[in-house]
Amino acid sequence: MRTGFYAKLALTGMKKNKRFYLPYIMTCVLMVMMAYIVRFLAVTPVFAEMPGAASLQAMLSMGWGIITAFAVIFLFYTNSFIMRRRRREFGLYNILGMDKLNIGRLLMWETLITALVSLALGLGLGVVLSKLAELALANAMKGVVTYTISLSYEAMASTALAFLAIFAFLLLCALVRLRLQDPIAMLQSENVGEKPPRGNWLVALLGLAALAWAYYMAVSIKDPLSALIWFFAAVLMVIVATYLLMISGSVVLCRLLKKNKKYYYKAAHFVSVSSMAYRMKRNGAGLASICILATMVLVMIASTSCLYFGADDALSARYPRDVNASVSFPSAGVMDEEMIGGLRETIAELTEEAGAQPENVLDYRYATVTGLLSEEGVIELDIEAYSAFALDTYDDLYAFYFVPLADYNAMTGDSLALARDEAMIYINRGSFADDALRFSDGTTIKIAGTLDDFIANPGASADITTAVFVVTNDFTAVTTKLEASASYAGFGWEYDFDAELGAAGQIALKDEIDEAGRSLGAEQGAFVFSCESLAENRDDFYGMFGGLLFLGVMLSIVFIMAAVMIIYYKQISEGYEDQARFDIMQKVGMTRRDIRRSINSQLLTVFFLPLVLAGVHLAFAFPLLQKMLLLFNVLNVRLLILTTSVSFLIFAVFYVIVYRFTAGAYYRIVAGRE
């Protein structure tokens, strides 16, 4: 055959099937563009000098991997759909004399054209829009960048190689399917009827049970650490349950609708329910995919938005004052008042020299031990007993912070009184239901009550385990005894204060205090000193949370594109399948108005089911998200409710727009206008 024959034939075939190929190529272009932008941001030197750059670019690199991995799955799905729609065309080519080798060459040219167009347009748009993305990310991080457009050859090369590998994989899969198919079967593929799958009540009930168990986990988990550990297990169960319910449960739903004579024997419902029953297995899988993608988008946007807009809460918990000084002692005996007094005087002198006075001071000693709460209510202090946890024991791990009653009263101005064997407690995350602290060394402390609020502790806020603050009247005796039996025990002094110096002045004062404290610690060899500033770390927090929000938005765009394409191809394929059925119905008296009513009935019955179920998934995931955000010290539940509600409303509006567009395309095909 002449040179260029296969290329021309490939272009002709793609033009004739533009309804399928154009959205597919557009999706490939957008996927390439998104992958390049994320990779560009992960390697650009612009963010290298910004606070939080290391964690930000690590997250973006992970995001690039997620996008490319998802591209493999999704493009395989869309490409497989196109190949199914063209089976009859390939069968005709085969009957007319083209063997499978020639058809394979045709597929190779189609794949090559798609790859070249996708890479050229995708990388071009990526280069143009990467600067806009860079500015948006810098704004989220509260950073400053230049307005010079730059290229990243590394990002272009890695993205191009990744997608060339993806297109090669798609071509290989198409060739394998072509080799395994019979020409006559391909030619008659559109004339083969599809048997309605039987509604499997057992599978439907299994899916319902899995979903109920996942929902129970989401609402019953009490502490943030367990929420983090079991989150992915719950997500996996929801995905499996959604597919089982959508595939088998939807068939059961159709059968129940058919038994309802008042509903079924109406012109608007009769054809729609019957046609759904003949395709529900494939239809259910598509609906489940849409539901899962919608849920992923809603969870990502709601949680990352809450993290970003709640960054100030997390920052205040981690750095309760402008300047935060911490001292770690090797043992309880070294932690004496004279040494602490000397450090306190040094900090006061340096603050006065800087032109300020310590205000809103937090000044207290503490001792901390880590223990595992057993089923008998005893707190095991031996680290070997909890060195290898099972997943269901993490919620029993506690960090206990003992604070002297005198220090607590001095800071708060309270006149709290306790017996020597009593204590008041405060839990920053999770819960502790026992009426006493019973340690494995025999120490027992009665819980006299629970405090409504407590002084901040930066170390506890950074720890993912549940922290229990214990205000005790017998600090020295208790800590000395626990030190002798605990595998891990820490002792420290916290001195945090505000200083009216401005951000630059606070950072300068922090540096001076840190240098002086470290020098004293090294000289005396009795403690380890560290000092942090809220102003210095604010940019790190916004960098991390801004990066998470940006990555969440980018991934959400990718998942939304996938959901839209699944919806579009689902509607188009079902339109062509229903075209003959509705044509027959028109010949026996069904009007175009009846056709539209039937179409609306079918679409409304199943199209909005994924959105409704995604909303239910999100509602049950809310308690789990709220507890997980506690690990980031985001305590504003109202903010999470607001971001969740707004995310769902915006997505619902977008979903309705997609519905109107795809429903119109479906109607035009069924009505024979296309």
Residue 182: what residue type?
A: D
- Which residues, at least 6 apart from 227, have a Cβ–Cβ distance to it below 8 Å? 221, 624, 627, 628
* SS3 state of residue 196: coil
Which of the pair, 667 or 638, is modelled with greater confidence?
A: 638
Please tell me whether residues 308 and 427 are part of one structural domain. Answer: no
Which of residues 536, 558, 585 is at a domain's end?
536
Please tell me whether residues 336 and 392 are part of one structural domain. Answer: yes
Q: Which pLDDT tens digit goes with each residue over 119-146?
A: 999 999 988 888 888 887 777 766 666 6
* SS3 state of residue 390: coil
Rounded CA separation 62/73 (Å) = 17
Q: Which of 370, 386, 390 is nearest to 230 (CA)?
A: 390
Q: Which of 196-205, 328-337, 353-362 has the highest mean pLDDT?
A: 353-362
CA angle 136, 138, 143 (to 5 degrees): 145
pLDDT above 80: residue 76: yes
Q: Which of 254, 6, 257, 14 is nearest to 117 (CA)?
A: 14
Please tell me whether residues 373 and 498 are part of one structural domain. Answer: yes
Q: Which of 402, 410, 419, 423 is nearest to 476 (CA)?
A: 402
Rounded CA separation 280/241 (Å) = 16
- Mapping DSSP onto H, E and C, the string for 500-553 reads CCHHHHHHHHHHHHHHHHHHHHHHHCCCEEEEEEHHHHHHHHHHHHHHHHHHHH
Q: Which of 84-98, 466-480, 564-578 has the highest mean pLDDT?
A: 466-480
Please tell me whether residues 615 and 575 are part of one structural domain. Answer: yes
The pLDDT confidence band at residue 192, using thresholds 50, 70 and 90, is very low
Which of residues 493, 515, 536 is at a domain's end?
536
Please tell me whether residues 560 and 619 are part of one structural domain. Answer: yes
Rounded CA separation 516/497 (Å) = 17
Q: Which of 592, 608, 594 is nearest to 659 (CA)?
A: 608
- Which residues, at least 6 apart from 91, have a Cβ–Cβ distance to it below 8 Å? 183, 184, 185, 186, 187, 188, 189
Q: What is the pLDDT of residue 182?
A: 63
- Whether the Cβ atoms of residue 234 and residue 218 lie closer than 8 Å to each other: yes
Which of the pair, 595 or 336, is modelled with greater confidence?
A: 336
For the chain, the domain total comes to 3
The pLDDT confidence band at residue 650, using thresholds 50, 70 and 90, is very high
Residue-averaged pLDDT of the chain? 79
As a whole number, mean pLDDT of residues 6-27 equals 82
Q: Which helix or strand (DSSP H or E) is residue 375 part of?
A: none
Q: Which pLDDT tens digit goes with each residue over 244-296?
A: 887 776 666 666 766 766 666 665 555 566 666 555 555 667 778 888 888 98
Rounded CA separation 50/145 (Å) = 10
Rounded CA separation 47/40 (Å) = 11
Domain of residue 426, residue span: 321-536
Q: Which helix or strand (DSSP H or E) is residue 362 part of?
A: strand 359-373
Q: What is the residue whose two structure tokens read 């309804």?
A: 19
In the chain, the largest separation of any two C-alpha atoms, in whole Å, equals 101
Rounded CA separation 185/192 (Å) = 9
52: left (phi over 0), alpha (psi -120 to 50) or beta: left
- The pTM of this model reads 0.75
Please tell me whether residues 557 and 531 are part of one structural domain. Answer: no
As a whole number, mean pLDDT of residues 577-599 equals 64
Question: What torsion, rounded to 10 degrees, do the Cα atoms 185, 187, 190, 192 define?
Answer: -30
Please tell me whether residues 367 and 439 are part of one structural domain. Answer: yes
pLDDT above 70: residue 601: no
- Whether the Cβ atoms of residue 253 and residue 286 lie closer than 8 Å to each other: no
Give the DSSP per-residue string, 558-570. HHHHHHHHHHHHH
* SS3 state of residue 361: strand
What sign for the dihedral angle of Cα 623, 628, 633, 634?
Answer: negative
Q: What is the pLDDT of residue 658?
A: 83
Please tell me whether residues 198 and 185 are part of one structural domain. Answer: no
- Whether the Cβ atoms of residue 593 and residue 279 lie closer than 8 Å to each other: no
Q: Residue 77, class by beta-carbon neighbours within 10 Å (0-12 exposed, 13-18 middle, 19+ buried)?
A: middle
- Whether the Cβ atoms of residue 401 and residue 423 lie closer than 8 Å to each other: no
Q: What is the pLDDT of residue 599?
A: 64
- Whether the Cβ atoms of residue 38 and residue 554 lie closer than 8 Å to each other: yes
Which of the pair, 93 or 217, is modelled with greater confidence?
A: 217
Please tell me whether residues 208 and 279 are part of one structural domain. Answer: yes
Please tell me whether residues 166 and 230 are part of one structural domain. Answer: no
Which of residues 191, 222, 249 is at a domain's end?
191
- Whether the Cβ atoms of residue 346 and residue 518 lie closer than 8 Å to each other: no
Please tell me whether residues 67 and 163 are part of one structural domain. Answer: yes
Please tell me whether residues 386 and 396 are part of one structural domain. Answer: yes
